[in-house]
Every structure is written in structure tokens, then in C-alpha cells.
Chain A
Amino acid sequence: MKNGIEIRWHGRGGQGAKTAALLLADVAFKTGQNVQGFPEYGPERMGAPITAYNRISSDKIRVHSNIYHPDYVVVVDETLLDSVDVTAGLKANGAIIINTAKSRAEIEKHLKGYTGRVYTIDARKISMDTLGKNFPNSPMLAATVAVSEVMPREDFFREMSASYQHKFAKKPEVIDGNMQALEMAFEELEEDIENDKVSLSA
């Protein structure tokens, strides 16, 4: 795999980081890409740190190892920042996306001097506002697509809508909430991403 991106997800068992990685593989597949989405299992229990991975490429993907030099890292639970070295191997020209209510400036202190881009998103709040429950993986998935630009925004929304229609065929009332969660995540990050683009090109 020469072209393409690698993503590492950090979460806790039961929070849906693995599901988010598999959803990202799913939606990237639907837009015509070669994909890999896989979890790394340790002792399986609720709340234990877990890692999941994505490779997304226009090339055939043959490598079957974990990812040590990701382009992007996604942290679904900020309490992991003190116990897991989330920026290990993260490329300086990549980015980290963290689910937190804290500001960028506050969160950067926990990132061991990582010099790449840092994005924060309050996925819990978005999920509570749109679904009434804390399911951070939909907003985190949208945030990952927004930051990585792994596919065009309209393709992402089109495929996610189709996917939710299918997945929640028997619970149509949650489809709108999930779509809103994706949109709010994109909107929350839009300004930061644009500002970073300006400063990167300067």
C-alpha cells in the first residue's frame, strides 16, 4: 500500500471504537476504496483500553500488522490520555482528534509535545443533544472523515444515510438524530480545519 491513509483508534471496551472503525471501513468501501478495519483485542472487558485500526487506500491492501505510524489518531475517551501513549508514532503531518469538552490548549498539555494538528470535539454533548444518550462513535466517525478528508463530505453523508436507513429499519426515529450528530461534528470542526489549512499553506 503506497497510497492511502492509516488510522488508529483508542477507546475503552464497550464505547464503540471498534464499531466506528468498522463503520469507517464500510463507508470507505462504498465509495470505491480498498479498506481494512480491525480491532486489537486484549483481555476483553467493559472499560479496558482497546485499539482499532483502519487502512484505506486506492491500492490493494496486503499488510496484516497493527499500525505503528498512523496518519491519524482518534481518541474516543479522553481519560485514556494519561494511561495510553496515544501519540506514539503519529506522523507530525497527521492529526489527532480527541473526544473532550476541553479546549485545544488544555488538551495539548497531555500530548507529550506532539507537534501536528490537534482537534477536540465534544462528542458526548453532540450525542446527548441529538440522541439523548452518550454514543460518541457517530460524531467521532464524522470528525475523522472531516479531518482526514478520506472521502468527500457529500459521499460520506449519502452513504451514512443509506447505512442508517438499513441499520435502523426497525427504529427509524433514531436515523435523524444520528444524521444530525454527524452534521454537528462536521460543523464543530469546520472552522478549526479551515484555519489550519490557511496556516499550513502560509
Chain B
Amino acid sequence: MKNLIMADLKVLGHRIWAVPLVILMFTILFNFVIPGHNNHQSLKYFHVPLTAGILGYFLMEIWSHNRLHLEMNSLPCSKYSIVFQKYLMIFLFVAIGILSLSLFLEIMSLTTDYTFNATDFYNAVNYPMPILTKLSVFVIPLFFKFKNQKTALFGTIFWFLCLIPFISLSIYSVSKQNTQQDLFLYIFLLIISVIVITIFYIKENKSPKIKQLIFIPVVTVFTVALGRMISILADFLFNLSLSKFKPDIFKRFNGYYETFNMDAGTYKSIMELYYELLKTNGTALLVSTVLMLYVWKKGNIRNIMATTFQFITLPVIFITLEFFLLFAVFGADLIISSNSTFFNTDTHFFIADYMIFVLMLIASFYYSKKFLTEGGK
């Protein structure tokens, strides 16, 4: 392990100190150049993600073109060590970012009227961490798969900027949505798919085949339907448990819980609330699954399908599991605690975030190790 870490540090060379130094210099410069009084309060958030991100990108760039695969994999060290060390490097880069952040805050307290305090420091480290850690668990296996830092990075950015927030939002607002909104969602997805197909075929100048045409909208609908089904079920189970263990608690809630409380008390009322949502999304899931099985059986695009599942469905499952866990943590807190701290959402999000992160990390590690052996030309 030590040899692998030292190897990467040697490969990075001067970048290991130049990157945090440049970030430090730029943030100090921006603090004084940008008009305003408290710029350092925003600039402090850039240190850890920028340092870890840029160093990670440089390292991937150096590893690319099959070098990591051929060189490291041929050396006498286990695949487990090779993969594990790559995750350790992220923590090392974060530590360098923290060092750069401390220097920045110290310099700010010396040169401005700002006084260094632990809360500022803690927030500057803790707020970007969930995004950074999630990025890492996606980008590392993607890199091992494609051996190219750009593909890995664009794949991850695609998830984060497009897919995950979209699905997360649709899941998060699950109980506030109704069947009509869900129908609009699926129509919107189908329109997007048609646009994507059109752009693809115009660019590739190919005549589309019916199975390929079916594949794109079907996989899009399947992915979203799967995410929504899991989150609706999580929400349903959460309310079901609450109605049994803490029937009195509903009085305190606003929003959909209040609506629920109006009809609450029986299983029937809960079913009524969720029946329509489950019916719409369940139908979408069922139809898309059947169509996908048809494409799988008849088509010749199994490899594309398998890759799509690995890289699209997995993050969806993770995100929905995250919400599932979030509800579980909320529920457990409400059931166990007599003096409920339900509105202290930070703690619940923190617990759910890190619980799911462990699951994501295990899956990420598994795929990285698999791709390290399977990869190559």
C-alpha cells in the first residue's frame, strides 16, 4: 500500500504542492479583487473540492491510456490494494485541501477583520464532502472501466447535473405529486428521448432500427419508474409505521402529513393516498420491463443494455435507497424518542447520507476491482 501511495505521489510530482498553492493564491486574490466584504465566507468552500478534484483529475490523466491497467496490474501487488489505494488517495487529496483551507482562513484572519473560528472551518469541510465523496465513488469505477479520465468525468457530471438531481427531485416531492403530474413526467421523458434519438441519428447519419428506437425511451422510463416506485414504497412504509407507533404525531405536521392525518387511522386511508401513485408508476415500470425484456431477447444490443444498467440504474438505486434510509432514520427517531427532534433535519440527512455512502462505497469498490481485471483491450 505504501509503495502504491508513494508511486502516485512521485507520478504527481510538483503538482501535489502546486495545485493547492495556486488555489490558495487565487482565493486570496479573489477575496480582495471581488467587491464585497465577506468574500472569504464563500471562497472557503472551494478549497477542499477544488484541491481534491484537480489532483484527482491529474492523477487519472496520468493513469489513462491503459498505463494503470498494464503497469500497476502487472506489478506484484494485489488488485484489492490497487483499488483500495485509489480511494485512499481521495482522502489524501482532501487532507491537502483541508491544509490549504486552514492556511486560507489563517491568512484571512491576519489580513482582514475576520476571526478564525472552528464552525467556519467545519462547514467549509463538511458541506462539500457529501458531493465530493459521491463523485469519487462514481468516478473511480468509471475510470477503471473506460481507462480515460474524460469519459469518467463526463459520465459522472452527466449523473450529477442531469440524472440524479432530476430523479432526486421527483422522488423527494413524491407525496406531493399526484397521478396527473406523474403522467406528465413520463410524457416529458418520452419527448426528451425522441429528441435524443433524433440528435443521435442525425449526428451518426444512421437509419434507426426499431429495437434501438424502443431502447432509449424504455430505459429512461424504467429508470425513473424504478426510482419512484422505491421512494413511494419508502414513503408509504414510513407513514404506515408512524400511524401504528405514533398516531398522535400527525397533528404536528404540515403539508402532506396533515392531509394524511385527515384520513388517517386505518390502513385503507393510507392505501387510498398511495394507490394512484403506485398504479401509475407500477404500470410504467411493468410496461418498460416487458419492453426491455423484448429488446433483450430479440435485439443485438445486449452489451449496450448491460452497460446502461450498470451506469444508470445503479445511481438511481443508490439515490432512492438514500431516501429510503432517510425515511427510516426519521421514523426510527420518531418511534424511539419520546421528545421527537423531527425538525432537526440536518442530523437525519447526515445519518442517511453516510449510511448510503457506505453502501455506495462497497458497490463502487466491487466494480472498480472487477473492471481492473476485466479491462484492457
Tell me, yes or no, whether A binds B.
no
Which residues of A are interface residues toward B (Cβ below 8 A)?
A: none
Which residues of B are interface residues toward A (Cβ below 8 A)?
A: none
